[in-house]
């Protein structure tokens, strides 16, 4: 019995060993001083791939099924008269870090995107219960939105370590590859006498960009610079700049930072219009469709816009975290976005020999998130994989009805 107790204590001491690894769900963007928390002490290179998809159609388990059934009745019942909201975030980032004595320098480059879709409530009603109420066919209509940001960022991090503290500073150049603002108009009309039903939809919007070469993706008549060259030129000539300031107390294991202080907004010069129309006609059980090809056209005149245009587009925020020396190192943290609201969560992590693991529960303002994962850390090389459940409602976050994943890989000495 004594041997069992000793073995359990040894196992728990290994599991609860602190894992000061940058590959936690919150990283440099949370506090620039965190860049000094890593597994390698000299050179570190790596990257991140992150995908978050929140929607009511598929669960994490559905990815492993041969077929998936979609219950639109259940989806509509849960809307309570609101539009159907979906969120998609897709990010990719690469970084390199050099640490010498008491100072560290890191360079990152990445593309970050977030898309919000709101489908009209009456459209989901038509797909679920149809357009019949009390034995009568009714007309349905509504308006939704498709908003999307695709942002390029390049950051330079510098941090300095003292005996009991770390100071971090990050300068980030950024500009929008694409900012889409569009509406979806849906209309269903019925002609009882002629037994016909008409369904029409229309998408209208504008897409703004700092890149001239975006035109090459939609036109065969573009003869300007390549996208690769344009990205570098725009980073030098038209990019915005913001700064992050961070502090970490190593003894108390707490940190504070002020992030996204915009020193200069990015120039946005190019404007594109987006239109798409379509129709479905049901005539005596015969279905006819007319789906027009989406049309994207570039404006001949340059626009004079900026990103961010409003503080809520890139809100300044303040963060705080505190790590407790307990089993699984609980770390509660908060992030307050001025003009937007409070995001908060708690992270648990540890090492089982050379296998780091973590669990993170957080409120992202727009949704709840549960992130859990593990990795393989051989010091010179490590890779971490995590799965994430996201939900508008807190009670559903533990069901993994939505899914996302993050992969981090790194190498160095």
How far is the C-alpha of 7 from the C-alpha of 14, rounded, in Å?
11
| pLDDT tier at 238, thresholds 50, 70, 90 | very high
Share of the chain above pLDDT 70, in %: 90
Q: Residue 156 — very low, low, confident or very high, per pLDDT cuts 50/70/90?
A: very high
- For residues 266 and 14, which has the higher predicted lDDT (pLDDT)? 266
Per residue in 56-77, pLDDT tens? 777 767 667 777 777 888 888 8
Q: pLDDT at position 20, please?
A: 40
CB atoms within 10 A of CB 336: 15
Given a cut of 80, whether residue 346 has pLDDT beyond it is: yes
Please return the burial class of 111, using the count of CB atoms within 10 Å of its CB with bins 0-12, 13-18 and 19+: middle
Distance CA 174, CA 178 (A): 12
Q: Which residues contact 106 (CB under 8 A, 6 or more apart)?
A: 28, 35, 44, 95, 96, 97, 98, 155, 156, 157
CB under 8 Å to 24, separation ≥6 — which residues?
347, 349, 358, 360
Is the confidence at residue 333, as pLDDT, over 60?
A: yes
Specify whether the CB–CB gap between 206 and 181 falls below 8 A: yes
% residues pLDDT > 90 (the chain): 35
The per-residue pLDDT for 155 is 94
Lowest model confidence (mean pLDDT) among 88-92, 224-228, 342-346: 224-228
Which helix (H) or strand (E) element contains residue 125? helix 121-128
Residue in the structure block whose two tokens are 């707490």: 254
């Amino acid at each position: 019995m004594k041997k069992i107790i000793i073995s359990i204590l040894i196992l728990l001491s290994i599991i609860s060993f602190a894992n000061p690894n940058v590959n936690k769900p919150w990283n440099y963007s949370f506090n620039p001083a965190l860049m000094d928390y890593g597994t390698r002490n000299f050179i570190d290179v790596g990257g991140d791939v992150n995908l978050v998809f929140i929607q009511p159609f598929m669960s994490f388990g559905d990815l492993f099924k041969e077929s998936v059934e979609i219950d639109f009745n259940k989806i509509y019942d849960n809307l309570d008269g609101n539009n159907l909201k979906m969120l998609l975030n897709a990010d990719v980032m690469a970084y390199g870090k050099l640490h010498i004595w008491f100072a560290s320098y890191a360079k990152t480059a990445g593309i970050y995107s977030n898309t919000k879709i709101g489908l009209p409530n009456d459209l989901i009603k038509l797909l679920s219960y149809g357009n019949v109420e009390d034995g009568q066919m009714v007309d349905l209509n509504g308006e939704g939105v498709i908003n999307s940001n695709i942002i390029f960022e390049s950051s330079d991090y510098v941090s300095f370590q003292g005996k009991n503290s770390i100071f971090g500073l990050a300068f980030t150049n950024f500009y929008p590859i694409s900012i889409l603002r569009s509406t979806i108009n849906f209309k269903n009309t019925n002609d009882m006498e002629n037994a016909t039903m008409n369904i029409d939809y229309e998408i209208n919007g504008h897409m703004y960009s700092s890149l001239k070469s975006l035109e090459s993706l939609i036109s065969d008549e573009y003869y300007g610079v390549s996208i690769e060259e344009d990205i570098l030129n725009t980073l030098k000539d038209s990019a915005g700049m913001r700064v992050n300031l961070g502090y970490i107390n190593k003894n108390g294991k707490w940190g504070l930072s002020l992030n996204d202080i915009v020193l200069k907004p990015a120039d946005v010069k190019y404007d594109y219009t987006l239109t798409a129309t379509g129709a479905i006609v049901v005539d005596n059980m015969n279905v006819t469709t007319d789906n027009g090809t989406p049309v994207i056209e570039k404006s001949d005149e340059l626009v004079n816009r900026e990103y961010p245009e409003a503080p809520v587009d890139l809100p300044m925020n303040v963060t705080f975290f505190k790590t407790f020396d307990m089993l699984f190192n609980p770390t509660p943290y908060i992030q307050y976005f001025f003009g937007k609201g409070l995001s908060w969560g708690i992270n648990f992590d540890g090492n089982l020999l050379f296998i780091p693991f973590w669990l993170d529960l957080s409120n992202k303002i727009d949704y709840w998130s549960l992130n859990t994962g593990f990795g393989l850390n051989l010091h010179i090389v490590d890779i971490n994989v995590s799965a994430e459940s996201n939900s508008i409602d807190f009670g559903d976050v533990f069901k993994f009805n939505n899914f996302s994943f993050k992969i981090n890989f790194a190498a160095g000495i």
